[in-house]
Amino acid sequence: MGIPTAPIVTIAFEQLAKTNAAQHGVPHLRVCFTPHPMTNKTDAEMYQVLEGKDPVTGKPFMPEVIDALTKPLTAAEKQTGETRPSTGPETYSDTPDNLQRFYADNNMTDFQPIILPTEEKVEWMLKGTSHKPDEIVGKMSAGVPSAFPPWSFNVRQVAINAVMAGAQPEFFPAILALASTGQTAIFSSTSSFAHMAVINGPFRDKVKMNYGIGALGPFNDANATIGRAWTILSKNLANAGLPGFTYMGTTGTNFNYNNMCCAETEDALPAGWQPLHVRHGFKPTDSTVSVFTGWSLTNVCYFGLPYHEMITHWLTHYFSTSNFSAMLVLDPTVAADIKAHGFDSQDAFRDYLVKNTKTPAWLYWQRRDKEMALAKQGVEPYASYLKMGPDADIPVSRFVPRRFPGMPENAPLPNTIEMIVMGGSTNTYWLGGDFRYTVTASIDKWV
Amino acid sequence: MGISPAVLAGVPTFAEPAKRTTRASASVGKIEVLNPKGFPPAIKLFPMAPRVASLDGKTVYLVSDGFAGAHRFLEQMAIWFHKNMPSVKTVYRLKAGGLTGDDPKLWAEIKANGAAMIMAYGH
């Protein structure tokens, strides 16, 4: 841009800021740091920060900012050219115990023991696909691609990570499909993103996935290792999951260990209901993996109402990191009850939920300054909403499909409520949460 | 402000120096395993923009990336300039595109009308 700039970052993001600057070709960017957090400081406290010192350098803050804009550039700051960071040698040699420690110490694992990726093991894994080892599978970023430049990777590199996760060769096409989505399982954000991988089609039975009792639990090697491989490959193929550098989730999430990898219980779908992948343009005979991103799921069982009404109330009142998207994981018994109440398809049920869910007043008025101003001027319907009081449920759904920032203008509006049917029908439980569908990838392509 | 090349590559620290060996040279009890890393992109180095000799009498853009509180922080910075460097004119702008999005229109405006930019804050 050619304008001298002083970027200001809070100290919690020191490593991230420096790393990002370097990855974008400005390794000596003159970043000035404030204490953390800043968001909730009063105006007077913020002014004190300006009068105080940079907690990283110890220098007076505003003079440092002014220096950043006025002090002549050093030779290093004027440097041009191109560099390609090294990721180390192609192979490592040591005893198995030392190598286990080595991979963990270098954040290449999920800190559980791995299968050591010897040449023989990787060749064995490559038997699970007809694709050539040097074929580029895709690119993956540790977070927002404009902030974290994507890394690229080939089939062989995915195979190395699949071996480490303990996967079998017959699982490998699903792992390649997940990798091909370019979506990291460990997305860099302070909000501790979780992800979910849902497999549909004949592949589920081919590799004997569990979509019955305990489908989301540690009871099946395909469910376990396909999901685990996604985490390990995200670390190694996208440079994701380096705390402080490419991962900032403040609490983290246990979901990152295997990303709730599961399969839909397609055989138990009520008549007229379609498998997830069919609803996203694939044929029933296709095998796919669908990716969801979100934060949390709540396990619900309550017998006081029909399920469609119960879920309506739950969606009205739950709140989470995202309040504008929802995911339902329905046990087949719950799906059957919903069908019995007249919902002949998931779309019909979703339309009902969008039409009938409301928004608690306290949540509705958040970030609606314009509507609040209109309400105070007596403009309807906002004036009536305001009169309902702070404890009311405003008759406006949070789940009306909307355009997300950055979406192409001609793209169809995404579903704000997604659902799958899964479980062993041992009781009428369902899960609800804030996950959002992102993409479905073909597994068949990678066989 | 320096950064280790190892960090850029996603291998922040090694427990011990990595050894490149061949299978034939591996000693008894040792095995050879493969590096699971992908291909990081090449990094093009950009020279930083030339600095201004002084801010006196210049226009400095105070740009918020939209993160909560950044607007109020920059308001306080404008007050600081008014008190401590009154010859500096400050102009506040909210960058389009959130934390990571580009805003070419704003950059053009600053290039045409400003001498420097302060952006707050990274979080």
CA B78, CA B66: separation in Å to the nearest integer?
17
Tell me, what's the pLDDT at A406? Answer: 66
Say whether B116 and A69 touch across the interface (CB within 8 A). yes
Tell me, what's the pLDDT at A301? Answer: 85
Say whether A4 and B48 touch across the interface (CB within 8 A). yes
Tell me, what's the pLDDT at B39? Answer: 96
Say whether B37 and A78 touch across the interface (CB within 8 A). no
Say whether A3 and B45 touch across the interface (CB within 8 A). no
Residue of chain B nearest A157, judged by CA positions: B36
Query: What confidence tier does B22 reach under pLDDT thresholds 50, 70, 90?
Result: very low
CA A32, CA A344: separation in Å to the nearest integer?
58
Which of A11, A86, A237 is most worth mutating to test chain B (most B CB atoms within 10 A of its CB)?
Answer: A86
Say whether B100 and A77 touch across the interface (CB within 8 A). no
Measured in angstroms, the CA of B88 and the nearest CA of chain A are apart by: 11
Contacts of A92 in chain B (CB under 8 A): 18-19, 32-35
- Parallel, antiparallel or unpaired: strands A288-294 and A262-263: unpaired
pLDDT in tens, B71-97: 999 999 999 999 999 999 999 999 998
Q: Which of A80, A84, A89 sits opposite B42 (nearest CB)?
A: A84
CB B55 within 8 A of CB A63: no
Measured in angstroms, the CA of A124 and the nearest CA of chain B are apart by: 14
Tell me, what's the pLDDT at B25? Answer: 43
Is A219 part of the contact surface with chain B (CB cutoff 8 Å)? no
Residue A327 Cα to chain centre, angstroms = 13
Contacts of B114 in chain A (CB under 8 A): 3
Tell me, what's the pLDDT at A380? Answer: 97
Is A242 part of the contact surface with chain B (CB cutoff 8 Å)? yes
Tell me, what's the pLDDT at A378? Answer: 97
Residue B1 reports pLDDT greater than 70: no
Residue B14 reports pLDDT greater than 90: no
Q: What is the DSSP letter of B25?
A: G
CA A311, CA A326: separation in Å to the nearest integer?
11
pLDDT in tens, A92-105: 999 999 999 999 99
CA B81, CA A65: separation in Å to the nearest integer?
12
Tell me, what's the pLDDT at B6? Answer: 40
More confident residue, B67 or A133: A133
Residue B19 reports pLDDT greater than 70: no
Contacts of B66 in chain A (CB under 8 A): none
Residue A33 Cα to chain centre, angstroms = 28
Q: Give the number of A-B residue pairs with CB atoms closer than 8 Å.
A: 305
Contacts of A151 in chain B (CB under 8 A): 38-41
- Parallel, antiparallel or unpaired: strands A262-263 and A194-200: parallel
Say whether B38 and A157 touch across the interface (CB within 8 A). yes
Q: Of the candidates B112, B69, B14, which has an alpha carbon nearest to the alpha carbon of residue A94? A: B14
Residue B3 reports pLDDT greater than 50: no
Tell me, what's the pLDDT at A253? Answer: 96
Is A164 part of the contact surface with chain B (CB cutoff 8 Å)? yes
- Parallel, antiparallel or unpaired: strands A359-360 and A288-294: unpaired
Contacts of A152 in chain B (CB under 8 A): 38-39, 41
Cβ neighbours around A301 below 10 Å, total: 11
Query: What sign does the CA torsion over A394, A396, A397, A398 have?
Result: negative
Percent of chain A with pLDDT over 70: 99
Which of A29, A33, A34, A69 is most worth mutating to test chain B (most B CB atoms within 10 A of its CB)?
Answer: A69
Amino acid at A167: A
Say whether B38 and A73 touch across the interface (CB within 8 A). no
Query: Average pLDDT for residues B45-65, to the nearest whole number?
Result: 96
Chain A from 301 to 340: CB within 8 A of any B CB: none
Tell me, what's the pLDDT at B16? Answer: 41
Tell me, what's the pLDDT at B101? Answer: 81
Q: Which of B14, B20, B49 sits opposite A3 (nearest CB)?
A: B49
Q: Which of A3, A106, A116 sits opposite B114 (nearest CB)?
A: A3
Say whether B42 and A9 touch across the interface (CB within 8 A). no
Is A126 part of the contact surface with chain B (CB cutoff 8 Å)? no
CB A307 within 8 A of CB A314: no
- Helix A119-126 / helix A155-164 crossing angle, nearest 10 deg: 110
H, E, C per residue of chain A: CCCCEEEEEEHHHHHHHHHHHHHCCCCCCCCEEECCCCCCCCHHHHHHHHHCECCCCCCEHHHHHHHHHHCCCCCHHHCCEEECCCCCCCEEEECHHHHHHHHHHCCCCCCCCCCCCCHHHHHHHHCCCCCCCCCEEEEECCCCCCCCCCEEEEHHHHHHHHHHCCCCHHHHHHHHHHHHCCCCCCCCCCCCCEEEEEEECCHHHHCCCCCCCCCCCCCCHHHHHHHHHHHHHHHHHHCCCCECCCECCCCCCHHHHCCCCEECCHHHCCCCCCCHHHHCCCCCCCCEEEEEEECCEEEECCCCCCHHHHHHHHHHHCCCCCCCCEEEEECHHHHHHHHHCCCCCHHHHHHHHHHHCCEEHHHHCCCCHHHHHHHHCCCCCHHHHHHCCCCCEECCCCCCCCCCCCCCCCCCCCCCEEEEECCCCCCCCEEEECCEEEEEEECHHHC
Say whether A79 and B101 touch across the interface (CB within 8 A). no
Measured in angstroms, the CA of B25 and the nearest CA of chain A are apart by: 9
Phi, psi of A371 (to 5 degrees): -65, -35
Tell me, what's the pLDDT at A405? Answer: 64
Tell me, what's the pLDDT at A408? Answer: 73
Query: What confidence tier does B123 reach under pLDDT thresholds 50, 70, 90?
Result: low
Chain A from 37 to 66: CB within 8 A of any B CB: 37-41, 43, 46-47, 49-51, 62, 65-66
CA B123, CA B114: separation in Å to the nearest integer?
24
Report residues of chain A scoring pLDDT below 50: none
Contacts of A23 in chain B (CB under 8 A): 8, 43
Structure ipTM over 0.85, yes or no = yes
**Mean pLDDT, chain A, whole residue set:** 95
Say whether B44 and A102 touch across the interface (CB within 8 A). no
Tell me, what's the pLDDT at A297? Answer: 93
Tell me, what's the pLDDT at B17? Answer: 39
Residue B56 reports pLDDT greater than 60: yes
Instruction: Label residue B73 left, alpha or beta by phi (over 0 means left) and psi (-120 to 50 means alpha).
Output: alpha
Instruction: Label residue B59 left, alpha or beta by phi (over 0 means left) and psi (-120 to 50 means alpha).
Output: beta
